[in-house]
Structure 1
Amino acid sequence: MTYPETVKYLESFINYEKTTAYRYKESLGLTRIKEFLTLLGNPQDDLKCIHVAGTKGKGSICAFIAYILKEAGFKVGLYTSPHLLDFRERIRILNPLSDKRQALSEFEGIIPKAALKAIVERLRPKIEKYGRSSPYGPLTFFEAYTALALVYFKEKKVDFAVLETGLGGRLDATNVVNALVSVITPISYDHMDKLGHTLKKIAKEKAGIIKTKKSIAISAPQEKEAREVIRARCKAFDVKLYEVNKYKKLKLRLLGRHQLINAAVAISAVKALNGYGIRVGVDSLMRGLYNTLWPGRCEVISRNPLVVLDGAQNVASVKALKEAIRKNFSAAGGSAFGEKYKKMILVLGISNDKDIKGICSELYDLADKVILTKANSLRAADPKILAGYFNGKERYITDGVGPAKNLSRRLAERGDLILVTGSLFVVGEFKYGRRQFN
């Protein structure tokens, strides 16, 4: 099997990230992956896991935790989703022994093509045998890839595995692990057609990762309804809960006040390891936070013109983005990036299962010119529909992110800011070009 054949094989799986046309139900739960992992000898049982669920900041918090533990001398597996360009980004190992050039890479420790090919070749017979014999049907892409990650982390003998849920938590394929620390990031309204239309219902799904008795849970600041669900879940499973309510000014490369909250949650998660006799010094905490790289999150990729990328895809994240723009890119905010921008050129593409109206309403007043576009994804909303929410603005419509990128640069004048947001899919294509697995 060549590497291109490996990619083609992985692309052949049912992939719910490509579409929203499915029901979120118990049959999408953990039975398949649990059975398959049993065939593999349950690699997850040999891993010390930190498991992260929530609506906002999951990936950033996972990255902060992983980089802190790396700075403390630990070898750390990091499993996140979605990816910006290459699906291998989802599986990484941060190693304190990495050379400096590798450590400076924005996707440090990404699984090598040869390693991924070898694991797929080895597991493919078992995957296909299970698919033929299981009454629950074949594995999905996310289930298979989660299994690959767990096998890889076990074989590489990582000291910790930091895992981000894909969707929800309770029925997510990552919820096969028994975590030392379960982390709930800020919960807000997203994936409501799948998780429910109230914070209480959404929080119930997210808090489903809290299930290991006598373990530890960390919660970011939450609305009252979500906070009550998390507290009740911890009480039911005899889990010690620490709620993060305060955060200090920290030296970060990642921009935005919301990243200070994310960093505080990550610090609490690492400190929770004290309960297992694992202590991380202050110097490691601070170095880890500062060294954390997490592309596509309020990321400046160009200064002339000024181009900012952010994968905000729900109303709460867009509000945090607006605050970051005001603080970091205006004279009034004491910006380190120069004087206040003259005009905002917004490049916007949104998946069709998101709160399109809410996101567009939040961004309306920020933008002077708007380019509505779509990622190369079946989930992408029609840019003509998005345009309807920007009446009165100077609007442009493109049928792809590449044309939107070219148009934004043509429209930009000296002192303007190009903001690309609404979807990590759009951000990934704007920065790198065509993504894998659209």
Structure 2
Amino acid sequence: MSIASVRAEDDAALETRVVRRVSRRITPFIIVLYFLSFLNRVNVGFAGLTMNRDIGLTQAMFGVGAGIFFVGYIAAGMPSNLALQRVGARRWIAFLMVMWGALSAATAFASGPYSFYGLRLVLGLAEAGFFPGIILYLSYWFPARHRAFVTAMFMTAAPLANMIGSPISGALMTLEGFAHLHGWQWLFLVEGAPTVLLGIVSYFYLMDRPEQAHWLAPAERNWLAAEMQRERDARAAQSRSSVWSAVKDPRVLLLALVYAGTSAGLYAIGIWAPMIIHRFGFSYVELGFVNAIPNLFAVVTMVLWARNSDRTGERRLHVAIACLAAGIGMLMSGYASSAVMLLVGLSIANFGINAAKPPLWSMPTQFLSGSAAAAGIALINAMGSLLGGTIGPMVIGKLRDVGGDYSLGLYFVSATLFVSALLAYLFGARQRGRQGPQERAVAQR
């Protein structure tokens, strides 16, 4: 065996060991953080089962309140991500978590439409920087060829929040009248408090860069720091690194439109699924367990889908096919006349929505670096959330009041997912045409 072959084997073994150690240190922790983030923004779906009556909300008003979260989320997204890059993930993520945990708990004291709107708005401001910040943070710690799988592991927190959080939320709703509080008030208080505590923990647990990773051996730390610097240098040589270049890049807009469909689907399920399923007569506790089923399916399948995307180095078809499946699942949910058919439709939709996101989030850093990557990721998240997270819940609530059921709203969301599938396919074809041989090689890694 040649010296070069031995060296390649040693490098591969070192890479495997480093990625495994970094994954064990970072991934479980950020999964828990995103679990709480997503739970704190969608637990309003369970609360709305009785809160709407208690504080005087129509379905349309509830949809506005659910969607107005994203007005704050959009406004603060890019500034928050740039602040994270400047002050460091450890400080910024800890600060955001303490803020949004307190605000989520404070929703227990909403007394009418306007206080509900206001609390949801400022909750969006506080949560804005977390998700795009973590996507950026992962690009500091994981080589690009491993990133879709790690992103998928991180993003399992969204369906996990529905899967585990649904039975918890259903149980908390049964505390009606305990200590003179409504069940929905207990829901917000109990699910907001752990976020504040873990925000404090994250300040001491997270590290900003591989160079600070005292828990890696010196050789491991040096390899990882050098590998990530090599990737940054390669991207800088062929990509744009200024904030303005991200803002004006049409590829950022196209990815935002793709993300909009997945956001509309994610929050249609996260916020409205409890109410859609509840019409089949389940109790609060039963509803919690039934709502967990589609999310369990999504957790397993999205990880397998992302692993295949990393294995093949292919992104566009993994995004497009997943969005297509999600659109079909939403159509089935709209047509569903039984609980079983509804659960099958929601399971397919859940798979597609969640499986599309990890390969999608591996795409911006293929053509952006530095401040442009921070701004571009935040801009995709903000614009996608504006179109999907804000408009989606509002339209569903309005169509529910107009049509008397949720079918029209689910058809609307299905259409947005079909558009996302088409745009993802076109983006990939256009991007492949624009890349030279060197850039295609980097994109595959």
Provide the TM-score with structure 2 as the length reference.
0.26
Which one has more relative contact order, counting CA pairs under 8 Å at least 6 apart? 2
> What TM-score does the superposition give when structure 1 sets the normalisation length?
0.26
Which structure has the highest helix share of the two? 2
